[in-house]
Amino acid sequence: MNFFAALKETVRRNDSLVCVGLDPDLAKLPECVKKSTTPLFDFNKAIIDATKDYVCCYKPQAAYYAGQDRDDELKKTIAYIHENAPGIPVILDVKRGDIGSTASMYAKEVFERYEADAVTVNPYMGYDTLKPFLDRADKGVFILCRTSNPNSGDLQNLVADGKPLFQHVAELVRDSWNANGNAGIVVGATYPEELKMLRELCPELPFLVPGVGAQGGDVEKVVNFGCTAAKDGIAVNSSRGIIHAGNGEDFAEKSGAAAKALRDLINSFRK
Amino acid sequence: MNFFAALKETVRRNDSLVCVGLDPDLAKLPECVKKSTTPLFDFNKAIIDATKDYVCCYKPQAAYYAGQDRDDELKKTIAYIHENAPGIPVILDVKRGDIGSTASMYAKEVFERYEADAVTVNPYMGYDTLKPFLDRADKGVFILCRTSNPNSGDLQNLVADGKPLFQHVAELVRDSWNANGNAGIVVGATYPEELKMLRELCPELPFLVPGVGAQGGDVEKVVNFGCTAAKDGIAVNSSRGIIHAGNGEDFAEKSGAAAKALRDLINSFRK
């Protein structure tokens, strides 16, 4: 089953548009897991067990593993999801973008080494740098469009031919780069007007929407502006808001409750 | 010594503007190193020994190590350069770009885990995503501007306010992002007219210039259009053209000769 079919299935089964970002910073983990030899994995495992009935997908951020020299725990985390939360797809958030020969190596990293089901990529270098990912029709490819961070407008809001740069990206994905039907775009929850405009431009395209929770995005607007006509088509990512919901022995239980609460809040606006 | 001071010193000492890209693809390595348990490292080690008198810096591409599950060999390669080619700085080519908290983790990966002296980053997400790198005044930060690949114009050539996107990036670096004096830009050798225009716009900014060799960039134009008034200010990267110059037992000797030949060719246009 390809990524977007798997995602559709978990959206239905768990009645959820929640994506949990698995971004474990060792310094912020509960004391009870810090002493493990594989603290990131142990932490993730508990979070996955507690949240798997409330989510449509998981999104580990590669930097947290690479930056802490714990790549093996990323690999174990993804394998654990495949085994213990079967059917729930994994987006590996890497935001790669490089010349073709290099991009092919990154595609190997994401899809073979780590066995992820989908990836995030950066469009700045153009189509040939995304092609090694897009050519994998079984995998999902989310292309950065309008990102959630404070200075995302530095380039993304520059207006060319009467349209902001991020709109050019959305139209390239919609009209050209999505030939295999396996592409989506990343649109931050923190810019709801742009989210609305992009949904009008791309009525069916899957959106990965980071920025609720710690980054402050408004869930009601995300649902009202971001969903397709069928009231789905978005994966709403929360990382810190869910994984750091608690910091004691009961951290996993708290994260499960936070994931369920976000799911229910989102669903309250989908009715 | 910070990165650009170290680079200036090796440019002078080795009379060279050559950057060697250490991008070892296991499938393409000489048979004599393939059987090693650390083939990428053994290959790099021989290349480094053979080229270190002819280069100003090295640039390993992280994807080749990550994609082949050989991160340890990247770490060993950089450590080997620091020990055995002292003073020659290392640019880790990762082209990262992500929200601040994540970018800080990537900066840890590049500068602490791998102990690189400089990094490549992607500007699509804006200033706050580059800041964790730029804040390291001792390190060099090369920001993608006009890249060497075939479809680099998809976004980079879009014209906003009468200027192509890549020019906006160059001006942001020149006027604002280079507050610590530790930034440069990446400009592909395959677009010489743009290289010329960017050098006129940014007379002193360091340029990392990939795209000669396998990608077909013209060395004479790179030197004439890319150099500063002092006939330096560029690091001309060649990867495949040098590391795959030979494929037999004498591969390292051939790569040394190729690095020297590229150095001398570049220098012939600097006189």
DSSP-assigned letter for residue A122: -
Cβ–Cβ of B113/A67 closer than 8 Å? yes
Tokens 């142990």: give the residue.
Answer: A42
Q: What is the pLDDT of residue A115?
A: 98
pLDDT band at A248 (very low <50, low <70, confident <90, very high): very high
Residue A7 predicted with pLDDT over 80: yes
CATH number at residue A199: 3.20.20.70
CA distance B88 to chain A (A): 24
Q: What is the pLDDT of residue B213?
A: 75
Cβ–Cβ of A100/B149 closer than 8 Å? yes
Task: Say what the pTM is.
Answer: 0.98
Structure tokens given for A146:
């309008």
Q: What is the pLDDT of residue A1?
A: 82
Q: Are B188 and B148 in contact (CB under 8 A)?
A: yes
CA distance B243 to B22: 7
CA distance B188 to B204: 17
Q: What is the pLDDT of residue A271?
A: 85
Please state the rounded mean pLDDT for residues A221-226.
97
CA distance B12 to chain A (A): 30
What residues form DSSP beta bridges with B19? B57, B237
Tokens 């490549």: give the residue.
Answer: B120
Q: What is the pLDDT of residue B86?
A: 96
DSSP characters over B203-258: TT--EEE--BGGG-B-HHHHHHHHS-TTS--EEEEESHHHHTS--STTHHHHHHHH
Q: What is the pLDDT of residue B1?
A: 82
CA distance B73 to B40: 6
Which residues on chain B are in Cβ contact (under 8 Å) with A98? 61, 63, 95
Of B69, B108, B158, the CB nearest to A113: B69
Please state the rounded mean pLDDT for residues A20-33.
97
Q: Lowest mean pLDDT of A19-28, B128-137, B182-191, B213-222, name the range.
A: B213-222
Of A68, A113, A126, the CB nearest to B155: A126
CA distance A187 to chain B (A): 12
Please state the rounded mean pLDDT for residues A219-233.
97
Which residues on chain B are in Cβ contact (under 8 Å) with A185? none
Please state the rounded mean pLDDT for residues A52-63.
98
Cβ–Cβ of A149/B160 closer than 8 Å? no
Please state the rounded mean pLDDT for residues B63-72.
98
Cβ–Cβ of A105/B147 closer than 8 Å? no
Q: Residues 6 or more apart from B52 whose CB is under 8 A from it?
A: B84, B85, B88
Cβ–Cβ of A109/B66 closer than 8 Å? yes
Please state the rounded mean pLDDT for residues A241-254.
96
Please state the rounded mean pLDDT for residues A148-164.
97
Cβ–Cβ of B64/A106 closer than 8 Å? no
Cβ–Cβ of A122/B148 closer than 8 Å? no
Of B64, B122, B126, the CB nearest to A154: B126
Of B71, B108, B160, the CB nearest to A158: B160
CA distance B76 to chain A (A): 14
Q: Quick: pLDDT tens for B131-174.
A: 999 999 999 999 999 999 999 999 999 999 999 999 999 999 99
Angle, helix A192-201 to helix A165-172, in steps of 10 degrees = 30
Q: Are B84 and B58 in contact (CB under 8 A)?
A: no
Q: What is the pLDDT of residue A215?
A: 73
Cβ–Cβ of B155/A144 closer than 8 Å? no
Number of domains in chain B: 1
**Cα A141 to Cα A137, A236, B49, B222, B230, distances in angstroms:** 9, 16, 40, 35, 45
CA distance A22 to chain B (A): 12
Q: What is the pLDDT of residue B217?
A: 77
Identify the active-site residue in B95, B131, B196, B231: B95
Please state the rounded mean pLDDT for residues A249-265.
97
In chain B, which residue's Cα lies nearest the Cα of A67? Answer: B109
pLDDT band at B77 (very low <50, low <70, confident <90, very high): very high
CA distance A4 to A57: 11
Domain that holds residue A66: 3-270
CA distance B255 to B156: 33
Structure tokens given for A23:
């971004």
pLDDT band at B117 (very low <50, low <70, confident <90, very high): very high
Which residues on chain A are in Cβ contact (under 8 Å) with B64? 102, 105
Q: How many CB pairs under 8 A join A and B?
A: 172
Q: Is A76 a catalytic residue?
A: no
Whether the complex's predicted ipTM surpasses the cut of 0.90? yes
CA distance B83 to B79: 6
